[in-house]
Structure 1
Amino acid sequence: MTRFAALDPLWQRLRSWPRPLVGLLSAHWKHAARTVAAALSALGIAYALELDMPFSAAVTVMLVAHPVHGMVLSKSINRFLGTLAGALVSVVLMGAFAQTPEMFMLGLSLWMGACTFASTLLRNFRSYGTVLAGYTVVLIAMPGVEAPDTMFHLVANRVSDVTIGIVCSGLVAALFTSRSAERGLRHKLRGGMLDLVDYAGRALRDPQADGRSAEAIRRRLAAEIVALDSLAEFAAAESAAIAPLRDTLRIGLAAMLGVLAAGASAEEALRRLPRTEGGHLADPGLARAVTDCLGLLGELAIALGHPDSPARAGELAALRQRLLALAQRIEAGIDPTRLPDLVARDRLAELLDELRATLGGPIALAAPPAGPGRAVPLPGAEEDRRRAGRFGFHLDWRGAAINGVRATLATWVAGAVWILTAWPYGWMMVAMVVPNAGLLAMRDHPERDAVELTKGCLLAALLGWVSLAYLLPLFDSFAGLCLVIGPILFLAVLLSVNPATAFIGVGVSVFYLTLLTPSNPMVYNASLFLNSALPTVGGAALTMVVFRVVLPNDLRGHVRAIVRAMRRDILDLLNRDVAPSDWETRMHDRMIRLIGRMRAAEMNHAELIRGGFAALRIGREVIRARRLHAGFPPGGLVDRLIEPSRHALARIDRAPRATVRALRLSANGLLTVAAHEQPERAAELGAIAASLLEVAMLVGRNRRFFQSGGRGLARGLPC
């Protein structure tokens, strides 16, 4: 026993593995089995229709495969639309430049650059469909360069192959995949709401807690909420019941992001209040308001934990009404002459208002189908719709321009090499470089991914050679073909679902069938296989060179560009009206991208993250103050008091200290006026003053972030 005592920890660990490991393997193996079944079905149908390139139908299945049904549908739709657009451009370019390959390559390179540029600015599978519209021209037109009169035949075959692959993939997903996007949306939204309520409760219960832990929680929740927007899109594509709720869900998701900012503001406002020796708030009225908020949050957490049902929808609708009533009661108790109390009450009311708006999505998902007298009343829903705008995203114009130029140059150079060398199979190298230049452009480390893709191509070539030379000659039927390629495709899918081997799996999935080129009848030509494998693997290797030499990805430059965009948007807010949800969602998306780029660049600069969140909150307060200010007559005393603050904010990058002083002076002036106004007007003036003071505090704490668009901090970044 003592001899093997050292192995006991290992044995205990092995005993703890089976259940989760078996569950994970089971899910991945089921997905792989579905994908292979759909791919072989598409291949069989393409054979039956006697298409020229039946393997393209199976490759389409491998490319659109995903464990989530809604994602398969969304990706398939965008792939089909991208294929149609690429087919149309193929006909136009070949018709215009059939006799001048140089001009054809120039037109192709410009089209590919434009598609890559646009795909960088888009999200989800719209981005994929756009870049596919670019490189589809290569896949269709390049085989027909020497015979332009066959272009319409090539286009018809390509569209037919893609359509067969999409239909087979969709049917298999519909028959054998549960509606996991809808189920995942319900599960993740419930979990996100519970986490959000817990976050708000922590902010009110313990405002003296370590701010860094709260910051980490905010970052995690923000990433989960932004991911929910994509999941809602996939669920809407998958389920007819979710599709009509898309706008309601987006309004709720925007409000969830608003809770993160409002919770931080409320936490800081409560932290500045005087307290008794026992740590309780010295103001009994405010202490009672906080207690009421916490009690309502506890009830909300219990209701959110219940399963979806009409009763749960009614319960949440009632809590939504109570949140609105409590916010109004807290605002009614605002005293403009007591500044700390004013700010704290204003922040509490704002937090409750954002929480109320988040409940629209859970209520809509829990409610029964709409019918006479069955609709669940949503207090304040019209106000939410009025305040909400589109779901904004960060538009990386700099990155899009770089990616577009790189794709243009890579396409043109690859085409020039092919034309100058007159290599008969050089078009295959072009057909390899061009898609990779577009598809890998959105990755943080495209040069590393290109290495993994090259490994996948080499593995595909090796497996293809073994299949062609030793395995396929043993069979003379379609069943035998499936018996040979099925296990290899199964392995490719398993590799692609593992993040560590994803690009190796993609390489095997796509290029094994492409190099093998199964036809009817099957052709066993070793020379043709090697002539195809060499430019394919060479094109993958050339892709590595492209991303290392042609405008290599500058992650630190991306970080600086995001910081500049945040500062620039604050200045733009002074001259244009922006919906709160548009601001919230775009800035949170920027924060997620900022953190992701910093992690990819192996940077650890917490001051940048704090400054970015401060910029988000400043924008919130500017929008809120403008909305409140709109109720006062133009050109009056309130205008004259606020005008210096607006001018000071316009100089936030040049004189942040002066900006802080101007904001505080304006806030004090508004509070002086509020002391002589009617209660309703006094509350509005107090809310504007609270926003100005919040902005002053945030600018004062993050001066280096705003100076020259973050240049003060950017200088501290290793370059």
Structure 2
Amino acid sequence: MRLIPPGSALSLSTPLIRFGNVAFPKWKIIRPTAAYAARVLLALGLALFLSFYFQLQTPMSSVTTVLIVANPVVGAMVSKSFWRIFGTVIGAAGAIVLMALFPQSPLLYFLGLSLIIGIACCVSTLLRFFKAYAAVLTGYTIVLISVSAFSEPDHIFMSAMSRLSAVTVGIVCTAVVFLVTSVSHPERILRQVDQTLRNITARFSHPADLEGAVAGSTLMPDDSGQPLSFRAMTVTSYDERARLLSQANALVEAIEYAAADNFAIGRRARGLHAGVARLLGLLSTHHPIWEDVPLDTPHSAEARRIVQEVMALFAATPPENLHLDDPGDMRARIAAAIARLDELTEQTQDLPTIAFIDNERDILDQLRAALDDFVGPQQRVRRLPLKAYFDWPAALRNGARGVCVTLLGCLAWYVLRWSNGATMLTYLIPASCLLATSPLASRASTMFASGTLVAIPAAFICQTYMLPRIDGYPLLWLALSVCLLPGIWIQFHPRHAMRGFGYAVFFNAMVQIRNPISYDDISLMNLWLSYLIALVGLVLVFRVILPADHRLDTGRLVMSIVRATEHLACRPIHRQVDWMVWENLQMQKILRLIQRFSLVAPPRRVYEVTDAAFIAVSLGRVVARLRGLAQNPAVHQDDRDRTRAALAAFRHLRSRPGLTATTLRETAQAIMTHVEGRHAASHVPTRRIAACLEQASLLLDAIPGFFHTHGPLQLAADMPGADNRLTLAIPPGTPLFGMKAA
């Protein structure tokens, strides 16, 4: 299924593009950035012109809107534009209501504003994509609207309308420029998904050949032609597996934006999201226990060979043949491979070998389920929507930061009676709100503040040396373009994206271009001083007063994964569990865990913790298989009861993981001793039950320190035992925090 014909208008420019790539070798690298910067400058020029033409009070607000909304991916721009208008309308209404409630009570007004900002920061941390941006925009729009009405509260309605008009102009201009200059590529997202599938299967086709897997995988560009990293705090990739994990996770956002831009992708967005979630889960099976397991028997060696052949076939298929378009042949090959694995299970009585074969079978099951999800809307299958993980500790911390920043800024203005105190709030509050959307807000606060710090001398040069010497709109646009270009350009580099964003956005707020333009040196000095004080206060709150404890956050995430595994096992068997939803929630936790723990631990320790987290998800997968197999009608009632009793032993997972593992292993052996006396139809499912119990015990014994409530990850970095290996068991009776018992 090809959504864009090969002979489209885009192909006419191919000779020119090739000529440019040959004549200027580095042009191919910088072309996406240059194209994006040119479109942004064109859009802000149009927005500024219309703002002057319509005689808006704050024309630079429309320029700021262009810089915030602009995105090389058209779908992302459309999505953010919608949520920006939505947030602006709600914020404008909130500003009017708040000013009407406390027109003569500054302290009550500041308290109400602080609470609203705190709630906005908290909600934005919980939401995903540009819904989070709409939440923070609702909060800080109140401040931007109210600043001009603090001295005359009766003008609050006109200030709100002016703000809404400027935002609308900026959004319309950005949409016009980017839609006219962009060619839609709805098939590109399908190719990105297909390429990720190939990269992951290539990893499984040669598990021991890391260098070969690295060479066989492919980086994927977005619609702008470069890697999926625009304006994002990236997950640090410590090895090829982590890079593939980050690559698959980036597809979640890419699919969301492609669905906003294209109807065909929107119809199958839920299936694409589900398939990517299964790919993330497939990556979680790639841990040392799977990769380094010895192939002691011919049956286990044959099972590994069968899986590697299927994976190699996926990876070796020519790129022009999309697996997502016609997966019928691959489905048939996977089904044949699974049938062969079932035959191997019947041919052996060795429990570790059966456990190994069952794990290989599960990998192919996941791959087949991912293909089924990728097929599209023509498959009438029931899919539950994936759930987002709500990181409440981080949300409450960001909410407290928002309250603290707003209250301190407002009280400093009120007590000191500084004439430019309101201007300080126009940076302090929006910046704290925007940082709340970052998963690493403490670290991002320094980057954001440094970008704003660079914008202060740039604004000084522009305001005092460039603007007084120009005459007419074209020169004004040219001067602004020269000053804004560095910030627009470096947003394409993930390491400096937050700096570029802080520079470009708040440079506009510092340059006092009004309608008409007037110059006041004292006002300018006050303005720059207020921004300098505000960025110091921002870093002070985020890094000193309410800093993030990334090790503590890691421990909380680990315990959240362990509790989820325990609840999954102890849940009544007759109650249905949507495995994909459960697994996707745990993978979201693991992504956050990698982000945060990598800031406080050496790479070697991060490897170990990531492997342990993947093993925990694999344990949950085994538990899910056990729950399904126990309900098989062919299984004898006694074996079903033994399975339930074994699952009940997971209630000791956090206190005595060794006891849970021992119970599982003993139950597996008891089931295997009676399997030959059962009905022939029950042999395969009963052996698989025993195999799953054996696998679960093996996984538990591998990392007892990860599951234990008093494990190393639950200790502060300076406490004894904090650096212990997760493979070490925790002695019974160990008190919390590694303190000696009295």
- In the superposition, the TM-score normalised over structure 2's length comes to 0.83
SS of 2:206 mapped into structure 1: helix
Residues 500 and 631 of structure 1, relative CA distance in 2, 3 Å threshold: closer
TM-superposition CA deviations, 1:144-203 (whole Å, max 9, x none): 1222211111111111111111111122111113446x4652343222111222122224
SS of 1:334 mapped into structure 2: helix
Alpha-carbon separation, structure 2, partners of 1:448 and 1:593: 14
Q: Find 2:497's aligned residue among 494, 502, 510.
A: 502
For residue 204 of structure 2, what is the amino acid of its counterpart? A
* 2:295–2:301 Cα contact (<8 Å) kept: no
What is the aligned partner in structure 1 of residue 3 from structure 2? none
Q: Find 1:359's aligned residue among 361, 371, 376.
A: 371
What is the aligned partner in structure 2 of residue 691 from structure 1? 692
Q: Find 1:301's aligned residue among 288, 306, 315.
A: 315
How far off its partner does 1:659 sit? 1.0
Residues 467 and 588 of structure 1, relative CA distance in 2, 3 Å threshold: same
Q: Find 2:189's aligned residue among 165, 170, 185.
A: 185
How far off its partner does 1:627 sit? 2.0
TM-superposition CA deviations, 1:690-716 (whole Å, max 9, x none): 222111101111111111163466354
1:401 matches 2:396:
yes
For structure 1, list consecutive stretches of 5 or more residues without a partner in the other structure. 1-15, 276-280, 365-369, 376-380
1:90 matches 2:95:
yes
What is the aligned partner in structure 2 of residue 345 from structure 1? 357
Residues 527 and 551 of structure 1, relative CA distance in 2, 3 Å threshold: same
1:584 matches 2:583:
yes
For residue 193 of structure 2, what is the amino acid of its counterpart? L
Q: Find 1:77's aligned residue among 82, 93, 101.
A: 82
What is the aligned partner in structure 1 of residue 339 from structure 2? 328
How far off its partner does 1:304 sit? 5.6
How far off its partner does 1:599 sit? 1.7
Alpha-carbon separation, structure 1, partners of 2:32 and 2:581: 37
Residues 486 and 607 of structure 1, relative CA distance in 2, 3 Å threshold: closer
Alpha-carbon separation, structure 2, partners of 1:562 and 1:82: 31
Aligned length: 668
Superposed, which structure 2 residues align to 1:57-68 within 5 Å?
A: 57-68=62-73
* 2:281–2:587 Cα contact (<8 Å) kept: no
Q: Find 2:296's aligned residue among 241, 266, 274.
A: 274
SS of 1:423 mapped into structure 2: coil
Which stretch of structure 1 is more off in the superposition, 557-566 or 444-453? 444-453
What is the aligned partner in structure 2 of residue 6 from structure 1? none
* 2:622–2:696 Cα contact (<8 Å) kept: yes
1:418 matches 2:424:
no
Superposed, which structure 2 residues align to 1:543-692 within 5 Å?
A: 543-576=538-571, 577-604=576-603, 605=605, 606-632=607-633, 636-692=637-693
How far off its partner does 1:291 sit? 4.5
Alpha-carbon separation, structure 2, partners of 1:154 and 1:290: 68
1:540 matches 2:540:
no
SS of 1:600 mapped into structure 2: coil
How far off its partner does 1:393 sit? 4.2
For structure 2, list consecutive stretches of 5 or more residues without a partner in the other structure. 1-20, 214-236, 724-736, 738-742
* 2:470–2:476 Cα contact (<8 Å) kept: yes
Residues 257 and 136 of structure 1, relative CA distance in 2, 3 Å threshold: same
How far off its partner does 1:289 sit? 5.3
Alpha-carbon separation, structure 2, partners of 1:326 and 1:452: 51
Q: Find 2:272's aligned residue among 230, 249, 273.
A: 249
* 1:185–1:235 Cα contact (<8 Å) kept: yes
1:153 matches 2:158:
yes
What is the aligned partner in structure 2 of residue 5 from structure 1? none
* 1:131–1:439 Cα contact (<8 Å) kept: yes
How far off its partner does 1:257 sit? 2.4
* 1:456–1:507 Cα contact (<8 Å) kept: yes
How far off its partner does 1:102 sit? 1.0
TM-superposition CA deviations, 1:468-495 (whole Å, max 9, x none): 3333233342223212212112232113
What is the aligned partner in structure 2 of residue 120 from structure 1? 125
For residue 672 of structure 1, what is the amino acid of its counterpart? T
For residue 397 of structure 1, what is the amino acid of its counterpart? W
Alpha-carbon separation, structure 2, partners of 1:470 and 1:303: 60
What is the aligned partner in structure 2 of residue 240 from structure 1? 263
Alignment root-mean-square deviation, CA? 3.1
SS of 1:73 mapped into structure 2: helix
SS of 2:652 mapped into structure 1: coil
For residue 651 of structure 2, what is the amino acid of its counterpart? A
For residue 362 of structure 2, what is the amino acid of its counterpart? E
TM-superposition CA deviations, 1:643-698 (whole Å, max 9, x none): 33223211112112211110012222233343233344222222222222111101
SS of 2:711 mapped into structure 1: helix
Residues 272 and 474 of structure 1, relative CA distance in 2, 3 Å threshold: closer
TM-superposition CA deviations, 1:492-544 (whole Å, max 9, x none): 21133334543443233222222223222221222222222221222112112
Residues 609 and 538 of structure 1, relative CA distance in 2, 3 Å threshold: same
How far off its partner does 1:24 sit? 2.5
TM-superposition CA deviations, 1:369-399 (whole Å, max 9, x none): x8xxxx6xxxxx66xx55x544344432111
For residue 623 of structure 1, what is the amino acid of its counterpart? A
Task: Point out the structure with the larger helix share.
Answer: 1
1:49 matches 2:63:
no
Residues 217 and 80 of structure 1, relative CA distance in 2, 3 Å threshold: same
Residues 449 and 681 of structure 1, relative CA distance in 2, 3 Å threshold: same
How far off its partner does 1:63 sit? 1.3
For residue 256 of structure 1, what is the amino acid of its counterpart? L
Alpha-carbon separation, structure 2, partners of 1:456 and 1:264: 40
Alpha-carbon separation, structure 2, partners of 1:629 and 1:420: 69
How far off its partner does 1:361 sit? 5.8
For residue 356 of structure 1, what is the amino acid of its counterpart? R
SS of 1:320 mapped into structure 2: helix
How far off its partner does 1:35 sit? 0.5
Which stretch of structure 1 is more off in the superposition, 234-243 or 251-260? 251-260
Which stretch of structure 1 is more off in the superposition, 466-475 or 480-489? 466-475
Q: Find 1:38's aligned residue among 34, 43, 47.
A: 43
Q: Find 1:110's aligned residue among 98, 108, 115.
A: 115
Superposed, which structure 2 residues align to 1:423-462 within 5 Å?
A: 423-443=418-438, 446=441, 449-462=444-457
Give aligned-pair identity as a percent.
27
How far off its partner does 1:446 sit? 4.5
Alpha-carbon separation, structure 2, partners of 1:502 and 1:265: 35
Alpha-carbon separation, structure 2, partners of 1:314 and 1:227: 22
What is the aligned partner in structure 2 of residue 198 from structure 1? 202
Alpha-carbon separation, structure 2, partners of 1:611 and 1:44: 57
How far off its partner does 1:363 sit? 4.5
SS of 1:523 mapped into structure 2: coil
How far off its partner does 1:42 sit? 0.9
Alpha-carbon separation, structure 2, partners of 1:289 and 1:101: 73
Alpha-carbon separation, structure 1, partners of 2:506 and 2:287: 51
For residue 535 of structure 2, what is the amino acid of its counterpart? A
How far off its partner does 1:265 sit? 9.3
Alpha-carbon separation, structure 1, partners of 2:544 and 2:713: 30
SS of 1:271 mapped into structure 2: coil
